[in-house]
Structure 1
Amino acid sequence: MSDAYQDVCEDVRSKAMMYFNQGYNCAQAVALSNVEMLKGQTDGIIQLAAGFGHGISAGCACGALTGGVMAISLLLANPDTKGFDKEISETAAKLHQRFVNEFGQACCSGLRKKLSPLKNARCKEITGTTAAMTMELVLAAKIKKSTPV
């Protein structure tokens, strides 16, 4: 990945951590930072992701991960995308795998049990890292899509 793309990934990481510090949940911070960076238009993102923090408030499916999947879907889908989209599904699966490789699991409650008393600091780091991973995967998918086969 070029320096310019790495800079974008670092910018989205910082932006996600800033949103987390401002009180947005992990899903909101990841989705908002990615969509804002590439689309500019963020209407409805905060509301859409509001229920996904703290593992959908049920303890599993880390909100940062689900926020990343929301961003992937919004940034790669066309307005007429219906049902299963192979590119989106593959990109979401790659994010899930990278997340598990990085953090050991995708379950919020499991991650939070491992965090010690520094929950917010660790969750903020997970949020920033996931935002950057999401951006990297979206950019790679967009490049692949624009490259003739």
Structure 2
Amino acid sequence: MGDQKHESSRRRDGATLGAARQQRILDMVSRGEIIAVGDLAQRFGVSQETIRRDIRTLDEAGGLRRVHGGAAPAGTVDLTARRPVVERLDVDRAEKTLAAQAALPLFKDGMNVFLGGSSTMLLLAEALTQHTAALSVTTNMIDIATTLRQPAAARSRCSAAR
């Protein structure tokens, strides 16, 4: 009987600690901080899974928004959301173009390469149209396959995306 009482008391104490921890997480997020699971786990001396459960609970209650790797204030824009490639093409376009140009010397005759569906890879495909290496390119983005159909750019295959 004494063990049951002690166990019940321990559960209440754990719930109290959990509620206090969740309130502190909400306080941090309400200041506009985007907080990482690992940082919170270290700060509170609990496992990352415990923090993930706390964040999930607080997200369901509307107190914050769960994001990849942590939490952000409720109502903030999800920066991890993917906008269409055409909307992202002009974001940091100069840097992406420089990266594409810097990558060109890495491509050699006979190489088989995969270009994933992204604005940077589309700019790389455009750069490859001026490159002389005979490549075989596989992509999951129709715009890249279309770009590479230009004469003598590369042999391309477009695979189905899931």
TM-score of the superposition, structure 2-length normalised?
0.25
Determine which structure has the larger strand proportion and give its number: 2
TM-score (norm 1): 0.26
